[in-house]
Amino acid sequence: MIDVKNLSKSFGHHLVLDDISQHIYPGEKVVIIGPSGSGKSTFLRCLNLLEEPTKGVITFDGTVITDPKAKIDLIRRQMGMVFQHFNLFPNMTIRKNITLAPVRTGLMKQSEADADAETLLERVGLRDRVDAYPAQLSGGQKQRVAIVRALAMRPKVMLFDEPTSALDPEMVGEVLEVMKQLADEGMTMVVVTHEMGFAREVGSRILFMADGKVLEEAPPAQLFGSPTHPRLKDFLSKVL
Amino acid sequence: MEQWPVLYQQWKQFIIAGEAVTPWQKYFVLFYQAFMEADRWKQYLNGVGTTLTVTAMALAMGVTIGVIVAVIRTSHAQQRPGRRNPVLGLINLVCRVYVTVIRGTPMMVQLLIMGMVIFKSSRNFTMVGALSLGINSGAYVSEIIRGGLMSLDPGQAEAGRSLGLNYFDTMRFIVVPQAIKAILPALGNEFIILLKDTSLITVIGGKELLYAAQGIYSRTYEQMFPLFGIAIIYLILVMIFSWLQGILERRLRQSDRR
Ligand SMILES: Nc1ncnc2c1ncn2[C@@H]1O[C@H](COP(=O)(O)OP(=O)(O)O)[C@@H](O)[C@H]1O
Ligand SMILES: [Mg+2]
Protein backbone atom coordinates (compact mmCIF):
# COMPACT_ATOMS: atom_id res chain seq x y z
CA MET A 1 0.00 0.00 0.00
CA ILE A 2 2.85 2.38 0.88
CA ASP A 3 6.20 1.68 -0.67
CA VAL A 4 9.29 3.54 0.52
CA LYS A 5 12.49 3.21 -1.49
CA ASN A 6 15.85 4.56 -0.37
CA LEU A 7 14.32 7.38 1.64
CA SER A 8 16.80 9.89 3.04
CA LYS A 9 16.08 13.16 4.74
CA SER A 10 18.50 15.83 5.92
CA PHE A 11 17.88 19.05 7.78
CA GLY A 12 20.80 21.13 6.57
CA HIS A 13 23.81 18.90 7.07
CA HIS A 14 22.07 16.78 9.68
CA LEU A 15 21.14 13.41 8.16
CA VAL A 16 17.96 12.36 9.99
CA LEU A 17 16.78 9.48 7.80
CA ASP A 18 19.45 7.31 6.23
CA ASP A 19 18.39 5.32 3.17
CA ILE A 20 15.25 3.64 4.49
CA SER A 21 13.32 1.15 2.37
CA GLN A 22 10.04 -0.23 3.68
CA HIS A 23 6.78 -1.61 2.41
CA ILE A 24 3.51 -1.29 4.29
CA TYR A 25 0.88 -3.81 3.23
CA PRO A 26 -2.90 -3.28 3.36
CA GLY A 27 -4.29 -4.10 6.80
CA GLU A 28 -0.87 -4.10 8.43
CA LYS A 29 -0.31 -2.43 11.80
CA VAL A 30 3.28 -1.26 11.74
CA VAL A 31 4.54 0.04 15.08
CA ILE A 32 7.70 2.14 15.15
CA ILE A 33 9.71 2.31 18.35
CA GLY A 34 13.09 3.78 19.16
CA PRO A 35 14.87 6.40 21.22
CA SER A 36 13.85 10.02 20.86
CA GLY A 37 15.60 11.88 18.07
CA SER A 38 16.03 8.71 16.02
CA GLY A 39 13.87 10.05 13.16
CA LYS A 40 10.54 8.30 13.84
CA SER A 41 8.42 11.42 13.46
CA THR A 42 10.35 12.52 10.41
CA PHE A 43 9.78 9.13 8.78
CA LEU A 44 6.06 9.31 9.47
CA ARG A 45 5.83 12.90 8.23
CA CYS A 46 7.62 11.97 5.00
CA LEU A 47 4.86 9.44 4.28
CA ASN A 48 2.31 12.23 3.76
CA LEU A 49 4.89 14.78 2.64
CA LEU A 50 4.61 17.05 5.65
CA GLU A 51 8.36 16.73 5.28
CA GLU A 52 9.90 16.77 1.84
CA PRO A 53 12.25 13.78 1.43
CA THR A 54 15.77 14.71 0.38
CA LYS A 55 16.15 11.49 -1.59
CA GLY A 56 14.07 8.45 -2.37
CA VAL A 57 10.74 7.45 -3.85
CA ILE A 58 7.49 6.98 -1.94
CA THR A 59 4.57 5.29 -3.69
CA PHE A 60 1.06 5.22 -2.28
CA ASP A 61 -1.49 2.95 -3.93
CA GLY A 62 0.43 3.02 -7.19
CA THR A 63 0.93 6.83 -7.20
CA VAL A 64 4.45 8.17 -6.88
CA ILE A 65 3.80 10.87 -4.29
CA THR A 66 7.36 12.17 -4.30
CA ASP A 67 6.85 13.11 -7.95
CA PRO A 68 6.71 16.94 -8.14
CA LYS A 69 3.55 16.66 -10.25
CA ALA A 70 1.70 14.48 -7.72
CA LYS A 71 -1.59 15.96 -6.48
CA ILE A 72 -0.57 16.03 -2.86
CA ASP A 73 -3.90 17.27 -1.49
CA LEU A 74 -5.70 14.34 -3.09
CA ILE A 75 -3.21 11.89 -1.63
CA ARG A 76 -3.35 13.37 1.86
CA ARG A 77 -7.12 12.92 1.90
CA GLN A 78 -6.54 9.20 1.91
CA MET A 79 -3.98 9.27 4.72
CA GLY A 80 -5.23 10.26 8.15
CA MET A 81 -2.73 11.68 10.63
CA VAL A 82 -2.95 11.96 14.41
CA PHE A 83 -0.48 14.23 16.17
CA GLN A 84 1.10 14.11 19.60
CA HIS A 85 -0.43 17.46 20.53
CA PHE A 86 -3.83 16.76 18.91
CA ASN A 87 -3.75 19.96 16.82
CA LEU A 88 -7.48 20.46 17.02
CA PHE A 89 -8.64 23.81 15.68
CA PRO A 90 -9.40 25.88 18.81
CA ASN A 91 -11.54 28.38 16.90
CA MET A 92 -14.09 25.76 15.85
CA THR A 93 -16.56 23.48 17.59
CA ILE A 94 -15.90 19.76 17.61
CA ARG A 95 -18.49 19.37 14.86
CA LYS A 96 -16.74 21.93 12.68
CA ASN A 97 -13.33 20.40 13.42
CA ILE A 98 -14.60 17.09 12.08
CA THR A 99 -16.72 18.28 9.16
CA LEU A 100 -14.53 21.06 7.75
CA ALA A 101 -12.32 18.86 5.57
CA PRO A 102 -14.99 16.45 4.25
CA VAL A 103 -17.20 19.40 3.28
CA ARG A 104 -14.49 21.66 1.83
CA THR A 105 -12.96 18.88 -0.23
CA GLY A 106 -16.36 17.98 -1.64
CA LEU A 107 -16.45 14.52 -0.08
CA MET A 108 -19.78 15.19 1.66
CA LYS A 109 -22.50 17.80 1.98
CA GLN A 110 -22.66 19.59 5.34
CA SER A 111 -25.75 17.64 6.43
CA GLU A 112 -24.13 14.31 5.56
CA ALA A 113 -20.91 15.30 7.27
CA ASP A 114 -22.81 16.36 10.40
CA ALA A 115 -24.60 13.04 10.61
CA ASP A 116 -21.34 11.21 9.94
CA ALA A 117 -19.51 13.19 12.64
CA GLU A 118 -22.16 12.24 15.18
CA THR A 119 -21.96 8.56 14.25
CA LEU A 120 -18.18 8.58 14.56
CA LEU A 121 -18.29 10.50 17.85
CA GLU A 122 -20.79 8.00 19.19
CA ARG A 123 -18.25 5.25 18.59
CA VAL A 124 -15.63 7.01 20.73
CA GLY A 125 -18.20 7.96 23.37
CA LEU A 126 -18.20 11.70 22.70
CA ARG A 127 -21.49 12.22 20.89
CA ASP A 128 -22.68 14.69 23.56
CA ARG A 129 -19.63 16.95 23.06
CA VAL A 130 -20.33 17.72 19.42
CA ASP A 131 -21.04 21.41 20.09
CA ALA A 132 -18.23 21.91 22.59
CA TYR A 133 -14.96 23.69 21.81
CA PRO A 134 -11.61 21.88 22.08
CA ALA A 135 -10.64 23.97 25.13
CA GLN A 136 -13.52 22.37 27.04
CA LEU A 137 -12.26 18.80 26.53
CA SER A 138 -9.71 16.76 28.45
CA GLY A 139 -6.55 15.60 26.68
CA GLY A 140 -7.90 12.11 26.14
CA GLN A 141 -11.13 13.47 24.72
CA LYS A 142 -9.21 15.81 22.41
CA GLN A 143 -7.16 12.97 21.03
CA ARG A 144 -10.26 10.84 20.44
CA VAL A 145 -11.80 13.77 18.54
CA ALA A 146 -8.57 14.14 16.55
CA ILE A 147 -8.82 10.47 15.54
CA VAL A 148 -12.45 10.96 14.53
CA ARG A 149 -11.49 14.05 12.54
CA ALA A 150 -8.97 12.03 10.55
CA LEU A 151 -11.41 9.13 10.09
CA ALA A 152 -14.09 11.46 8.73
CA MET A 153 -12.07 11.67 5.50
CA ARG A 154 -12.40 7.89 5.10
CA PRO A 155 -8.63 7.38 4.85
CA LYS A 156 -7.07 4.16 3.65
CA VAL A 157 -4.26 4.40 6.15
CA MET A 158 -3.84 6.11 9.51
CA LEU A 159 -0.56 7.57 10.74
CA PHE A 160 -0.15 8.09 14.49
CA ASP A 161 2.77 10.10 15.93
CA GLU A 162 3.02 9.33 19.65
CA PRO A 163 -0.72 9.84 20.14
CA THR A 164 -0.58 9.22 23.89
CA SER A 165 2.71 10.90 24.82
CA ALA A 166 1.13 14.23 25.74
CA LEU A 167 -1.60 12.66 27.87
CA ASP A 168 -1.94 12.25 31.61
CA PRO A 169 -1.47 8.56 32.46
CA GLU A 170 -5.13 8.00 33.33
CA MET A 171 -6.17 9.09 29.83
CA VAL A 172 -3.81 6.89 27.84
CA GLY A 173 -6.10 3.87 28.05
CA GLU A 174 -9.14 5.50 26.47
CA VAL A 175 -7.13 6.56 23.41
CA LEU A 176 -5.40 3.20 22.99
CA GLU A 177 -8.82 1.56 23.24
CA VAL A 178 -10.05 3.56 20.24
CA MET A 179 -6.92 2.67 18.31
CA LYS A 180 -7.34 -1.03 19.08
CA GLN A 181 -10.94 -0.87 17.91
CA LEU A 182 -9.72 0.71 14.68
CA ALA A 183 -7.08 -1.98 14.26
CA ASP A 184 -9.68 -4.69 14.77
CA GLU A 185 -11.77 -3.18 12.00
CA GLY A 186 -8.87 -3.79 9.65
CA MET A 187 -7.48 -0.26 9.24
CA THR A 188 -3.94 -0.04 7.91
CA MET A 189 -1.97 1.76 10.60
CA VAL A 190 1.52 3.14 11.12
CA VAL A 191 2.01 4.01 14.78
CA VAL A 192 4.96 5.68 16.49
CA THR A 193 4.61 4.98 20.21
CA HIS A 194 6.33 4.31 23.48
CA GLU A 195 3.45 2.10 24.63
CA MET A 196 5.13 -1.30 24.45
CA GLY A 197 1.99 -3.09 25.64
CA PHE A 198 0.07 -1.69 22.69
CA ALA A 199 2.90 -2.53 20.29
CA ARG A 200 2.92 -6.14 21.49
CA GLU A 201 -0.83 -6.56 21.41
CA VAL A 202 -1.78 -4.71 18.22
CA GLY A 203 1.35 -4.57 16.07
CA SER A 204 1.70 -6.96 13.17
CA ARG A 205 5.29 -5.80 12.68
CA ILE A 206 7.58 -3.68 14.86
CA LEU A 207 10.30 -1.44 13.45
CA PHE A 208 13.10 -0.40 15.75
CA MET A 209 14.68 2.87 14.61
CA ALA A 210 17.90 4.48 15.78
CA ASP A 211 20.11 7.09 14.12
CA GLY A 212 17.84 7.39 11.12
CA LYS A 213 17.95 3.68 10.26
CA VAL A 214 15.63 0.76 10.85
CA LEU A 215 18.00 -1.45 12.83
CA GLU A 216 15.63 -4.33 13.41
CA GLU A 217 12.15 -5.36 12.31
CA ALA A 218 10.08 -8.36 13.29
CA PRO A 219 6.68 -9.42 14.58
CA PRO A 220 6.24 -8.35 18.21
CA ALA A 221 6.76 -11.77 19.80
CA GLN A 222 10.10 -12.17 18.09
CA LEU A 223 11.30 -8.58 18.47
CA PHE A 224 10.47 -8.37 22.16
CA GLY A 225 11.22 -12.05 22.87
CA SER A 226 14.59 -12.40 21.22
CA PRO A 227 16.06 -9.03 20.21
CA THR A 228 19.38 -9.33 18.40
CA HIS A 229 20.76 -5.82 17.81
CA PRO A 230 22.62 -4.49 20.87
CA ARG A 231 20.99 -1.07 20.49
CA LEU A 232 17.56 -2.71 20.62
CA LYS A 233 18.51 -4.79 23.68
CA ASP A 234 19.74 -1.66 25.37
CA PHE A 235 16.57 0.26 24.42
CA LEU A 236 14.26 -2.50 25.62
CA SER A 237 16.10 -2.84 28.92
CA LYS A 238 15.35 0.85 29.53
CA VAL A 239 11.69 0.94 28.54
CA LEU A 240 10.38 -2.42 29.71
CA MET B 1 -22.77 83.69 26.42
CA GLU B 2 -24.48 86.47 24.45
CA GLN B 3 -22.32 89.18 25.95
CA TRP B 4 -19.07 87.28 25.15
CA PRO B 5 -18.43 89.14 21.86
CA VAL B 6 -18.98 92.42 23.69
CA LEU B 7 -16.65 91.49 26.54
CA TYR B 8 -14.09 90.24 24.02
CA GLN B 9 -14.03 93.53 22.12
CA GLN B 10 -13.91 95.55 25.31
CA TRP B 11 -11.08 93.62 27.00
CA LYS B 12 -9.14 93.30 23.77
CA GLN B 13 -9.12 97.10 23.52
CA PHE B 14 -7.85 97.28 27.12
CA ILE B 15 -4.96 94.98 26.26
CA ILE B 16 -4.10 96.90 23.09
CA ALA B 17 -4.21 100.15 25.01
CA GLY B 18 -1.87 98.68 27.63
CA GLU B 19 -4.37 98.96 30.46
CA ALA B 20 -4.23 96.51 33.36
CA VAL B 21 -6.37 93.39 32.93
CA THR B 22 -6.79 90.35 35.20
CA PRO B 23 -5.21 87.08 33.98
CA TRP B 24 -8.71 85.72 33.67
CA GLN B 25 -9.64 88.51 31.28
CA LYS B 26 -6.47 87.99 29.28
CA TYR B 27 -7.05 84.23 28.87
CA PHE B 28 -10.63 84.84 27.94
CA VAL B 29 -9.51 87.10 25.13
CA LEU B 30 -6.95 84.52 23.91
CA PHE B 31 -9.49 81.72 24.13
CA TYR B 32 -12.14 83.67 22.32
CA GLN B 33 -9.66 84.68 19.67
CA ALA B 34 -8.45 81.11 19.16
CA PHE B 35 -11.82 79.37 18.98
CA MET B 36 -14.77 81.73 18.70
CA GLU B 37 -13.84 84.79 16.70
CA ALA B 38 -14.91 84.52 13.05
CA ASP B 39 -16.37 81.07 13.87
CA ARG B 40 -12.89 79.59 14.01
CA TRP B 41 -14.15 76.46 15.75
CA LYS B 42 -15.49 75.45 12.34
CA GLN B 43 -11.94 75.29 11.04
CA TYR B 44 -10.98 72.89 13.84
CA LEU B 45 -14.07 70.84 13.14
CA ASN B 46 -13.16 70.63 9.45
CA GLY B 47 -9.64 69.68 10.55
CA VAL B 48 -10.97 66.85 12.70
CA GLY B 49 -13.08 65.66 9.79
CA THR B 50 -10.06 65.63 7.49
CA THR B 51 -7.88 63.96 10.13
CA LEU B 52 -10.42 61.17 10.55
CA THR B 53 -10.97 60.80 6.81
CA VAL B 54 -7.25 60.67 6.08
CA THR B 55 -6.77 58.16 8.91
CA ALA B 56 -9.55 55.95 7.59
CA MET B 57 -8.26 56.09 4.02
CA ALA B 58 -4.68 55.45 5.06
CA LEU B 59 -5.76 52.58 7.30
CA ALA B 60 -7.85 50.97 4.57
CA MET B 61 -4.94 51.28 2.18
CA GLY B 62 -2.44 50.14 4.80
CA VAL B 63 -4.44 47.04 5.68
CA THR B 64 -5.01 46.16 2.01
CA ILE B 65 -1.33 46.53 1.14
CA GLY B 66 -0.34 44.86 4.41
CA VAL B 67 -2.50 41.77 3.82
CA ILE B 68 -1.29 41.37 0.24
CA VAL B 69 2.39 41.78 1.14
CA ALA B 70 2.08 39.47 4.16
CA VAL B 71 0.32 36.76 2.13
CA ILE B 72 2.94 36.97 -0.62
CA ARG B 73 5.81 36.82 1.81
CA THR B 74 4.46 33.95 3.92
CA SER B 75 3.34 31.88 0.95
CA HIS B 76 6.78 32.39 -0.59
CA ALA B 77 8.43 31.24 2.64
CA GLN B 78 6.14 28.23 2.93
CA GLN B 79 6.77 26.80 -0.51
CA ARG B 80 8.17 23.31 -0.53
CA PRO B 81 11.93 23.56 -0.91
CA GLY B 82 13.13 22.82 -4.44
CA ARG B 83 9.72 23.72 -5.86
CA ARG B 84 9.86 27.46 -5.57
CA ASN B 85 7.89 29.46 -8.06
CA PRO B 86 10.25 32.03 -9.69
CA VAL B 87 7.49 34.58 -10.34
CA LEU B 88 6.46 34.46 -6.69
CA GLY B 89 10.13 34.82 -5.81
CA LEU B 90 10.38 38.04 -7.82
CA ILE B 91 7.19 39.52 -6.33
CA ASN B 92 8.46 38.55 -2.90
CA LEU B 93 11.69 40.44 -3.57
CA VAL B 94 9.72 43.56 -4.53
CA CYS B 95 7.73 43.26 -1.29
CA ARG B 96 10.89 42.94 0.76
CA VAL B 97 12.44 46.01 -0.84
CA TYR B 98 9.23 47.95 -0.19
CA VAL B 99 9.13 47.00 3.50
CA THR B 100 12.83 47.73 3.97
CA VAL B 101 12.72 51.14 2.29
CA ILE B 102 9.55 52.29 4.06
CA ARG B 103 10.66 51.14 7.49
CA GLY B 104 14.16 52.45 6.94
CA THR B 105 13.30 56.06 6.09
CA PRO B 106 11.50 58.73 8.14
CA MET B 107 7.80 59.30 7.56
CA MET B 108 8.45 63.03 7.16
CA VAL B 109 10.98 62.45 4.39
CA GLN B 110 8.61 60.06 2.61
CA LEU B 111 5.88 62.69 2.75
CA LEU B 112 8.14 65.38 1.32
CA ILE B 113 9.30 63.07 -1.48
CA MET B 114 5.71 62.19 -2.33
CA GLY B 115 4.45 65.76 -2.16
CA MET B 116 7.35 67.65 -3.69
CA VAL B 117 8.90 65.17 -6.10
CA ILE B 118 6.55 62.41 -7.19
CA PHE B 119 3.29 64.37 -7.07
CA LYS B 120 4.94 67.75 -7.57
CA SER B 121 2.19 68.99 -9.86
CA SER B 122 -0.75 67.77 -7.78
CA ARG B 123 -2.76 70.38 -5.93
CA ASN B 124 -4.65 67.86 -3.85
CA PHE B 125 -2.23 67.90 -0.91
CA THR B 126 -4.54 66.10 1.49
CA MET B 127 -4.97 63.15 -0.89
CA VAL B 128 -1.24 62.91 -1.54
CA GLY B 129 -0.78 62.93 2.23
CA ALA B 130 -3.33 60.14 2.72
CA LEU B 131 -1.67 58.12 -0.02
CA SER B 132 1.77 58.52 1.58
CA LEU B 133 0.45 57.53 4.99
CA GLY B 134 -1.29 54.47 3.50
CA ILE B 135 1.85 53.33 1.71
CA ASN B 136 3.84 53.85 4.90
CA SER B 137 1.31 52.05 7.05
CA GLY B 138 1.15 49.09 4.64
CA ALA B 139 4.75 48.19 5.42
CA TYR B 140 4.16 48.15 9.16
CA VAL B 141 0.82 46.35 8.88
CA SER B 142 2.39 43.66 6.67
CA GLU B 143 4.99 43.03 9.37
CA ILE B 144 2.28 42.89 12.05
CA ILE B 145 0.28 40.37 10.02
CA ARG B 146 3.35 38.32 9.14
CA GLY B 147 4.25 38.18 12.82
CA GLY B 148 0.73 37.05 13.67
CA LEU B 149 0.81 34.32 11.03
CA MET B 150 4.22 33.11 12.16
CA SER B 151 3.32 33.11 15.84
CA LEU B 152 0.66 30.47 15.22
CA ASP B 153 1.62 26.87 16.05
CA PRO B 154 2.70 25.31 12.72
CA GLY B 155 0.84 22.19 13.86
CA GLN B 156 -2.42 23.99 13.06
CA ALA B 157 -1.60 24.37 9.38
CA GLU B 158 -0.11 20.87 9.30
CA ALA B 159 -3.32 19.42 10.69
CA GLY B 160 -5.27 21.23 7.98
CA ARG B 161 -2.98 20.09 5.19
CA SER B 162 -2.83 16.53 6.51
CA LEU B 163 -6.62 16.38 6.12
CA GLY B 164 -6.21 17.21 2.45
CA LEU B 165 -7.28 20.85 2.65
CA ASN B 166 -5.42 23.00 0.15
CA TYR B 167 -3.19 25.92 1.09
CA PHE B 168 -5.86 28.58 0.69
CA ASP B 169 -8.59 26.74 2.62
CA THR B 170 -6.08 26.09 5.39
CA MET B 171 -5.24 29.78 5.52
CA ARG B 172 -8.86 30.88 5.28
CA PHE B 173 -10.46 28.62 7.86
CA ILE B 174 -7.63 27.75 10.22
CA VAL B 175 -4.67 30.12 10.13
CA VAL B 176 -6.16 33.55 9.40
CA PRO B 177 -9.04 33.47 11.93
CA GLN B 178 -6.60 32.54 14.68
CA ALA B 179 -3.99 35.04 13.52
CA ILE B 180 -6.51 37.91 13.52
CA LYS B 181 -7.00 37.48 17.24
CA ALA B 182 -3.26 37.69 17.83
CA ILE B 183 -2.90 40.68 15.51
CA LEU B 184 -5.69 42.91 16.76
CA PRO B 185 -3.85 44.69 19.61
CA ALA B 186 -0.92 45.61 17.37
CA LEU B 187 -3.29 46.70 14.63
CA GLY B 188 -5.07 48.96 17.11
CA ASN B 189 -1.76 50.59 17.99
CA GLU B 190 -0.99 51.10 14.33
CA PHE B 191 -4.34 52.84 13.95
CA ILE B 192 -3.55 55.21 16.81
CA ILE B 193 -0.08 55.97 15.41
CA LEU B 194 -1.66 56.68 12.05
CA LEU B 195 -4.22 59.01 13.60
CA LYS B 196 -1.47 61.10 15.17
CA ASP B 197 0.81 60.90 12.14
CA THR B 198 -1.83 62.59 10.00
CA SER B 199 -0.55 65.81 11.60
CA LEU B 200 2.62 65.37 9.52
CA ILE B 201 0.81 65.95 6.24
CA THR B 202 0.76 69.69 7.00
CA VAL B 203 4.36 69.79 5.73
CA ILE B 204 3.07 69.23 2.22
CA GLY B 205 -0.01 71.37 2.75
CA GLY B 206 -2.51 68.69 3.79
CA LYS B 207 -5.44 70.44 5.47
CA GLU B 208 -6.02 68.54 8.66
CA LEU B 209 -6.25 69.55 12.31
CA LEU B 210 -2.74 70.91 12.78
CA TYR B 211 -3.08 72.88 9.54
CA ALA B 212 -6.19 74.56 10.99
CA ALA B 213 -4.32 75.54 14.15
CA GLN B 214 -1.38 76.86 12.16
CA GLY B 215 -3.68 78.91 9.97
CA ILE B 216 -5.28 80.48 13.02
CA TYR B 217 -2.13 81.37 14.95
CA SER B 218 -0.52 82.79 11.84
CA ARG B 219 -3.31 85.39 11.96
CA THR B 220 -3.49 85.97 15.72
CA TYR B 221 0.19 85.45 16.63
CA GLU B 222 -0.99 83.55 19.70
CA GLN B 223 0.09 79.89 19.58
CA MET B 224 -0.81 78.56 23.01
CA PHE B 225 -4.56 78.11 22.73
CA PRO B 226 -4.69 76.69 19.20
CA LEU B 227 -1.89 74.19 19.96
CA PHE B 228 -3.21 73.11 23.34
CA GLY B 229 -6.63 72.93 21.78
CA ILE B 230 -5.65 70.49 19.05
CA ALA B 231 -3.48 68.51 21.48
CA ILE B 232 -6.59 67.97 23.59
CA ILE B 233 -8.62 67.03 20.51
CA TYR B 234 -6.01 64.43 19.43
CA LEU B 235 -5.91 63.08 22.97
CA ILE B 236 -9.68 62.72 23.13
CA LEU B 237 -9.78 60.97 19.75
CA VAL B 238 -7.04 58.54 20.80
CA MET B 239 -8.75 57.87 24.12
CA ILE B 240 -12.04 57.08 22.38
CA PHE B 241 -10.34 54.62 20.05
CA SER B 242 -8.33 52.99 22.85
CA TRP B 243 -11.54 52.49 24.74
CA LEU B 244 -13.27 50.92 21.72
CA GLN B 245 -10.23 48.71 21.15
CA GLY B 246 -10.38 47.54 24.76
CA ILE B 247 -14.03 46.54 24.38
CA LEU B 248 -13.30 44.61 21.18
CA GLU B 249 -10.37 42.75 22.72
CA ARG B 250 -12.28 41.86 25.84
CA ARG B 251 -15.06 40.45 23.71
CA LEU B 252 -12.62 38.31 21.73
CA ARG B 253 -10.97 37.02 24.89
CA GLN B 254 -14.35 36.00 26.25
CA SER B 255 -14.93 33.71 23.29
CA ASP B 256 -11.62 32.04 24.17
CA ARG B 257 -12.72 31.05 27.64
CA ARG B 258 -15.99 29.66 26.40
N1 LIG C 1 12.25 20.77 11.14
C2 LIG C 1 13.44 20.34 11.60
N3 LIG C 1 14.54 21.09 11.41
C4 LIG C 1 15.75 20.66 11.85
N5 LIG C 1 15.95 19.51 12.49
C6 LIG C 1 14.90 18.71 12.71
C7 LIG C 1 13.58 19.08 12.28
N8 LIG C 1 12.72 18.11 12.63
C9 LIG C 1 13.47 17.15 13.25
N10 LIG C 1 14.76 17.51 13.30
C11 LIG C 1 15.84 16.72 13.88
O12 LIG C 1 15.78 15.43 13.33
C13 LIG C 1 16.07 14.46 14.30
C14 LIG C 1 14.97 13.44 14.35
O15 LIG C 1 13.79 14.04 14.81
P16 LIG C 1 12.42 13.26 14.95
O17 LIG C 1 12.07 12.67 13.64
O18 LIG C 1 11.45 14.20 15.55
O19 LIG C 1 12.79 12.11 15.98
P20 LIG C 1 11.84 11.24 16.89
O21 LIG C 1 10.44 11.43 16.45
O22 LIG C 1 12.32 9.85 16.70
O23 LIG C 1 12.06 11.70 18.29
C24 LIG C 1 16.27 15.19 15.62
O25 LIG C 1 17.67 15.30 15.83
C26 LIG C 1 15.67 16.53 15.37
O27 LIG C 1 16.36 17.50 16.10
MG1 LIG D 1 8.80 12.28 17.50
Nearest ligand by distance to the CA of A34: 1
- Note the pTM of the prediction, 2 decimals: 0.81
Confidence of residue B82 (pLDDT cuts 50, 70, 90): low
Q: What is the rounded distance in angstroms from the CA atom of residue A174 to the CA atom of residue A167?
A: 10
Torsion of CA A63, A65, A70, A71, to 10 degrees: 90
B225: in domain: yes
Q: What is the rounded distance in angstroms from the CA atom of residue A141 to the CA atom of residue A139?
A: 5
Asked whether residue B128 falls in the same domain as residue B13, the answer is no
Give distance in angstroms: CA of A117 to centre of ligand 2.
Answer: 29
CB contact under 8 A, B159 and A83: yes
- Residue B161 pLDDT greater than 80, yes or no: yes
Q: Which residues contact A30 (CB under 8 A, 6 or more apart)?
A: A22, A24, A189, A190, A191, A203, A204, A205, A206, A207
For residue B80, list chain A residues with Cβ-Cβ distance below 8 A. Answer: 49, 52
- Residue B254 pLDDT greater than 70, yes or no: no
Average pLDDT over residues B53-76: 93
Confidence of residue A101 (pLDDT cuts 50, 70, 90): very high
Asked whether residue B30 falls in the same domain as residue B83, the answer is no
Chain centre distance of CA A17: 18
CATH of the domain at B220: 1.10.3720.10
For chain A, what's the residue count? 240
- Residue B258 pLDDT greater than 60, yes or no: no
Asked whether residue B1 falls in the same domain as residue B57, the answer is no
Asked whether residue B83 falls in the same domain as residue B34, the answer is no
Mean pLDDT estimate for chain B? 90
Confidence of residue A176 (pLDDT cuts 50, 70, 90): very high
DSSP-derived secondary structure for A3-67:
EEEEEEEEETTEEEEEEEEEEE-TT-EEEEE--TTSSHHHHHHHHTTSS--SEEEEEETTEETTS
B244: in domain: yes
Computed on alpha carbons and rounded to an integer, the radius of gyration of chain A in Å comes to 18
Torsion of CA B73, B77, B81, B84, to 10 degrees: 0
Confidence of residue B209 (pLDDT cuts 50, 70, 90): very high
Average pLDDT over residues B221-246: 93
- Among residues A158, A232, A229, which one has the least CA distance to residue A196? A232
B44: in domain: no
Q: Whose CA is nearest to atom 7 of ligand 1?
A: A11
State the pLDDT at residue B135: 96
Q: Whose CA is nearest to atom 18 of ligand 1?
A: A41
State the pLDDT at residue B35: 87
Asked whether residue B243 falls in the same domain as residue B167, the answer is yes
Answer for the pair A97, A117: CB distance below 8 angstroms, yes or no. Answer: no
Asked whether residue B12 falls in the same domain as residue B69, the answer is no
- Residue A222 pLDDT greater than 90, yes or no: yes
Asked whether residue B235 falls in the same domain as residue B126, the answer is yes
Q: Provide the strand spans (E) within chain B.
A: none
Confidence of residue A11 (pLDDT cuts 50, 70, 90): very high
How many separate domains does chain B show? 2
B46: in domain: no
Strand partners, A206: A31, A218
Burial class (CB in 10 A: 0-12, 13-18, 19+), A47: buried
State the pLDDT at residue B81: 65
Confidence of residue B256 (pLDDT cuts 50, 70, 90): low
- Neighbour tally for A100: CB within 10 Å: 22
B169: in domain: yes
Asked whether residue B73 falls in the same domain as residue B152, the answer is yes
Q: Which atom of ligand 1 is nearest to the CA of A42?
A: 17
B64: in domain: yes
CB contact under 8 A, B162 and A81: yes
Give the rounded percent of residues in chain A with a pLDDT score beyond 70: 100
**What backbone torsions phi and psi does residue B140 show, to the nearest 5 degrees?**
-70, -40
- Residue among B83, B164, B173 minimizing CB distance to A76: B164
**What backbone torsions phi and psi does residue A14 show, to the nearest 5 degrees?**
-90, 110
Give the rounded percent of residues in chain B with a pLDDT score beyond 90: 57
Tens-place pLDDT, residues A29-47: 999 999 999 999 999 999 9
Asked whether residue B24 falls in the same domain as residue B105, the answer is no
Asked whether residue B82 falls in the same domain as residue B118, the answer is yes
Tens-place pLDDT, residues A127-157: 999 999 999 999 999 999 999 999 999 999 9
Give distance in angstroms: CA of B209 to centre of ligand 1.
Answer: 57
Asked whether residue B187 falls in the same domain as residue B214, the answer is yes
Average pLDDT over residues A182-187: 96
Q: What is the rounded distance in angstroms from the CA atom of residue A160 to the CA atom of residue A174?
A: 15
Asked whether residue B143 falls in the same domain as residue B17, the answer is no
Structural domain of residue B169, as residue ranges? 52-257
State the pLDDT at residue B38: 84
